[in-house]
Amino acid sequence: MFRRLATISLMTAWLCASGAMLDVAQVAAWARMFAGYARTESVVAAARETFDPAKPCAMCKALGKAREACDHRSPAVPNPGVEKIILISERVQPFVVLVAPRAWPRVACAGMPVRGAEVPVPPPRFGAA
């Protein structure tokens, strides 16, 4: 239930922020106009009367004024004289390579004898592969 409520809230906020609510209201106005005209006229005539730009209803006029107000408040292209404000700055961290020692650490065990000389290696055999 919580996920569905969150999804519906997010979609509603997106519709309001993007201006799509004006489109939804326009569709509702057209549906209301069509239903009113369809009571007395045929379906084709009702559709023609609904989408006739010479006869907008009061709701269509109000929506047109709202669209104009939205267009005047926020310009589509920012002014060239206005500087951009950088809100997030990412600093690149230096890459440091640590070299690990290659020799094994010497551990002295008290219980084991330590060999002091090299281990004798027999000479190679002739002809053996």
**DSSP labels, 19-31:** THHHHHHHHHHHH
The pLDDT of residue 31 is: 93
CA quadruple 32, 34, 39, 40: dihedral sign: positive
Could you tell me the residue ranges of all domains in the chain? 20-73
Instruction: Take residue 9 and report the two structure tokens written for it.
Output: 């809230």
The pLDDT of residue 44 is: 92
Tell whether pTM > 0.85. no
The pLDDT of residue 3 is: 87
pLDDT (tens digit per residue) in 39-94: 999 999 999 999 998 988 899 898 888 888 877 765 555 566 667 767 777 778 88
Confidence of residue 102 (pLDDT cuts 50, 70, 90): confident
Confidence of residue 29 (pLDDT cuts 50, 70, 90): very high
Is the CB of residue 51 less than 8 Å from the CB of residue 60?
A: no
The three-state secondary structure class of 3 is helix
Q: Using a pLDDT cut of 90, give the percent of the chain over it.
A: 23
